Amino acid sequence: MINSKKLKTLLGKATPYFLILPVVLYYAAFWLRPVIVSVIGGFTDTLGNFTLQNFLMVFNDKAFIPAIRNTAILVIFSVTLEFIVALFLALIINRKFVGSGIFLFLAMIPMALPAAAAGAMWITGLTAHGWINSLLSYLGILAQGDKIYWLAGSEYSLLALLIFIDAWQVIPSVMIILLAGLQNIPEETREAGFVFGGDFLTVLRKITIPMLKSTIQTAVILRLISAIQIWLIVVFLLGFSRMPVLVERIVFYHKEVRGLDISYQMATGYTIIVSVIVSLAALAYLQVSGAFKKDVEETA
C-alpha cells in the first residue's frame, strides 16, 4: 500500500505531465494526422506502392544542394546575429533607465507585424522607386535620380539582405525571452560580483550568462527551428526558385507546380527531409549546450 508521502512524491513528479497533457491532446488531434499522412506519402509512389524513389528525386533536384546551402547560411548567420543583438538589447532594457518602457515598445513593433505585412513593406521599399531609395535621396545620401537596385545583386548580397530583414523581424521575440530570463536573476547576485571586483564583462561572462543558460537554450532552439523554416520573405522578395531554400521547395511543389505527376511526392519528400534536419539540428544544439548532461544529472 502506498503511503501518503510516496503518493505526494508520485503526484509531484507527475504534475508536469498533467500540465502538458492538453497540449499533447491538441497536437495529437490537429498535428499528428497530417504528419502521418505526409510520412506515408513520402514513402509511396503515384500508384500508392512503397518506394524510396521520392527521396532520390529530391536529392537529384537541381535546386536541392543550393537550398541546403542557402538554408544553412541563413540559419548560421541569422541565429548568431539575432542572439548577439537581442542579448545586447535585453541587457540595456533590463537596466530600467528612463524611457526603457518606450524603447521596449518600439523594439517590439517588428514582431507584431505579420510575415505577409513585413514582406509587403520590404518589397515596396526595395524596388528601384521604393521608399528606401526615396528616403536616401531625401537625406542626401543618394544623388537626385540615382537608384540602388537592391534585388539585383549577387547571390551572397541577397542572402545578406535576407539575413538583415529576418533579423529585423525576429530579434524582438528573442530579446523578450532573454529579457524575461534576466529579470528572473536576483539583482543581488550581480551586485555581489561587482563587490568582489568584477567588471561588467566579467559579471556578464561568469554570472549572468551561466544563470541565463536555460533561457538561452530555449531562445536559440526556437529560433533555430524557425530559421530553418524560413520561406515567405524569400518568396515575397525574390519569387520561387531564384533563391531556393528548403521550405520554399516544399511550397513550390505543393502550390506552384501541383499539376505535375511527381509534385506531391517531391513535396512530401522535401517535408520529411526538412523534418529530419530540424530534429537533428535541435538535438545537436542541445548536445553541444549540455542540456542532455544536465537532465541526466538531475535524474541521477
Tens digit of each residue's pLDDT (9 = 90 or more) over 188-213: 888 888 888 888 888 888 889 999 99
What percent of the chain is predicted at pLDDT more than 70?
Answer: 95
Domain boundaries, the chain: 62-115+154-299
Contact in structure between 278 and 228 (CB atoms under 8 Å): yes
Distance CA 62, CA 69 (A): 12
Higher per-residue confidence, 298 vs 12: 12
Check residues 123 and 196 and name the one with the higher pLDDT: 123
Using one digit for the tens of pLDDT, what is the confidence trace for 10-55? 777 888 888 888 888 888 888 888 888 888 988 988 888 898 999 9
Exposed, middle or buried, 163 (CB in 10 Å: 0-12/13-18/19+)? Answer: buried
Question: For residue 113, what pLDDT band results from cuts at 50, 70 and 90?
Answer: confident
Are the C-beta atoms of residues 258 and 240 closer than 8 Å to each other? no
Read off the amino acid at residue 259: G
pLDDT of residue 291: 67
The model carries a pTM of 0.84
Is the separation of the CB atoms in 190 and 208 below 8 Å? yes
Q: Are 81 and 267 in contact (CB under 8 A)?
A: no
Those residues with Cβ within 8 angstroms of residue 147's Cβ, 6 or more apart along the chain or in another chain:
128, 129, 133
C-alpha cell at 221: 532552439
How would you class 122 by CB atoms within 10 Å of its CB: exposed for 0-12, middle for 13-18, buried for 19 or more? buried
HSE of 223 in the Cβ direction (CA atoms, 13 Å)?
A: 30
DSSP SS3 for 44: strand
Integer-rounded Cα radius of gyration of the chain: 24
Superfamily of domain 62-115+154-299: MetI-like (1.10.3720.10)
- The amino acid sitting at 225 is I
- Residue 298 is predicted with a pLDDT of 52
